[in-house]
Amino acid sequence: MNYKWFIGGGVVLLLGVYFLYNPAGNPLFPKCPFLQLTQLRCPGCGSQRALHQLLHFNFLEAFRYNALLVSSIPVLSLLYAAQLLCNKYPRFYNKIYSPILIWCLLAIIVFWWLLRNLFGW
């Protein structure tokens, strides 16, 4: 069995958990260690709560919890599709996983990290 499909199955299972259980105020869900240690938000803070809201089609609430996560769903979907189809469409994979795109994504994440701690987003 291809590991990519195994990862996809794990993602579907996790989505089911986040659909059924709201991480807001639930002690079973992990807290962000970066936030606990520094009192600063990491780029992923609010992602669990945002995911729960997304799965219930509360897009504005999800955006409020983590705007980067919600905004990056098309990009993440494209990256995953390129992974799944890399054998069939290697040129598509190489264009998607170009160093320029990866560096741009990293820059966006760092920029988001700074903005949310400077302005409390």
Q: Which residues bind Zn ion (CB under 5 A)?
A: 32, 34-35, 42, 45
Q: Which is closer to Zn ion, CB of 45 or CB of 69?
A: 45
Q: Which is closer to Zn ion, CB of 33 or CB of 99?
A: 33
Q: Minimal distance in Å, beta carbon 69 to Zn ion?
A: 11
Q: Minimal distance in Å, beta carbon 93 to Zn ion?
A: 30
Q: Which is closer to Zn ion, CB of 45 or CB of 62?
A: 45
The residue among 40, 17, 49, 34 whose CA lies nearest residue 114 is: 40
Q: Minimal distance in Å, beta carbon 101 to Zn ion?
A: 24
Q: Which is closer to Zn ion, CB of 93 or CB of 113?
A: 113
Token code pair at residue 15: 């989505």
How far apart are the C-alpha atoms of 87 and 63, rounded to whole Å? 35
Q: Minimal distance in Å, beta carbon 89 to Zn ion?
A: 35
Cβ proximity of 43 and 68 under 8 Å:
yes
